[in-house]
Structure 1
Amino acid sequence: MNKYMIYLNGKRCIGCHGCEVHCKANKNLPVGPQLCEIDHSVMVKIKSVPKTEFTFRSCYHCEEPFCAPICPTNAMIKREDGIVYIDQEKCIGCMACAGACPWTIPQLNPETGKAVKCDYCMDRVDAGLRPACVTKCTTHALKFVIMQEVV
C-alpha cells in the first residue's frame, strides 16, 4: 500500500501562498475553510542573518486517523492507499472529526454545512495527476511523493 505525502522544500518556498489559492479554486471553497496553508512564522538565523523558514500544513492522512472512528456517520474514510477523505453524502457537519484531530484539520464549509479537509485531490491522484497545490507551486517547492521513497 502506498502512503502519499506532500513534502515542502523550504529552501525553494517563497511564501507566495499560490498553493492555498489553487487548492481553494480546485475545491471551489468559499472564504473561510483552508485545506492547506503556508506558515512563515519560523525565524532562524543563518550566519547571524535572520531568515524566514516556511512550513506547509495540511491533513497528515494518519496511519490510524483519530477523526475516522469518532465520526457518527462513518463519513471519514481511509482508502487503501492511505488517503483519508470525507464522504460528503454521509457527513452531517457535527465536526466531531475536528474535535478528535490533534491538529484540528477538518473545517466547516459554511456553504454546505459539512466538514472539509485535504484529500490530496484524490480525483486527480486517481487520474494519475498531482494535487492542485503541488501542480501550481510556482517555485516547485512542493512535491507529492510516496512516503517509502522519502524515508
Structure 2
Amino acid sequence: MSRYIIKMDQDRCISCNACELHCKQYNRVPEGARLGQLITVGPLNKAGKPRMMNLFMPCFHCEQPWCVAACPTEAMIRRDDGIVYVNQDLCVGCKACIIACPWDVPQWDEAAGKVMKCDLCMDRVDQGLDPACVTACTTHALEFVRPNEASHRTRERHGQKILLKRVMR
C-alpha cells in the first residue's frame, strides 16, 4: 500500500477547481490532460435541498499497479514508499499504461509524445511538503495523509460532532 493518500472532505469542497489549476501550473500539464481531477455531480436533492457532490481523483498509487505491469520499457515505476511515477527518459509513448489503468489516470502529452500521471508531486513530498493540489485547496478540503491514520482535523471534527449531539439532547 502507498504510504500516502489524498483525502477529501466533502463538506468543505466548494468546487472551485483550485486543486486542478494549481496541479496544472506546478506540473506544467498541457491542455487537455488532467493529473488530478475534480469530478462534480449534481445538483442532487438531499433532504429537500440541492447539493453538489465532489470527488477528487488523483492516482491511487496501487499496491500492484496495472500501469507498471503493462509498461514494456519499465518507464512506469513504483517507489518503495508506494508512489507510482513515469520516468520520462524511458517512456516511448506506447500508451500501454493508459490502456491498463482502469481509472484512466495516466494522461497523454501530445506535445512530448509521452505519458504523464499524478506522482503526488513526489519532489515536494521528498522535501516534506504537501502535493500542489493539497496546498492550493482554498477550503482545506484536501488533506495529504497516511492510509488508516485519522488526521488531526478528522478527529477534531468527529469530536465536535459528538459534543454537538450531547449538547442537543
TM over 0.5: yes
Match of residue 3 from structure 1: 3
1:63/1:126 CA distance change after superposition, 3 Å: same
> Is there any run of 5+ residues in structure 1 with no aligned partner, and where?
none
What is the distance in 1 between the residues matched to 2:2 and 2:78?
12
Return 5+ residue gaps in structure 2 as ranges. Answer: 152-169
Q: Does 1:65 align with 2:52?
A: no
Q: Which residue of 2 aligns with 1:138?
A: 138
Larger Rg: 2
TM superposition outliers: structure 1 runs of 4+ over 4 Å? none
Instruction: Answer 1 or 2: which has greater strand percent.
Output: 1
Counterpart CA distance in 2 for 1:137 and 1:118 is 16
Residue of structure 2 equivalent to 1:29: 29
Distance (Å, rounded) in 2 between the aligned partners of 1:38 and 1:68 = 24
Sequence identity percentage: 49
- Residue identity matched to 2:46: I
TM-score by length of 1: 0.95
TM-score normalized by structure 2?
0.85
RMSD of Structure 2 on Structure 1 (CA): 1.5
Higher-RCO chain (CA-CA 8 Å, sequence separation at least 6): 1
Q: List aligned pairs for 1:95-106, cutoff 5 A.
A: 95-106=95-106
SS for the counterpart of 1:23 is helix
Higher-helix-fraction structure: 2
CA deviation after TM superposition for structure 1 residue 45, in Å: 2.8
CA distance 1:27–1:11, shift in 2 (3 Å):
same
Q: CA offsets, 1:76-114, max 9 Å, x none?
A: 100111100011110011110010011111011112111
Matched, 1:40 2:40: yes
Is the 1:3–1:148 contact (alpha carbons within 8 Å) kept by the matching residues of 2? no
Match of 2:162 in 1: none
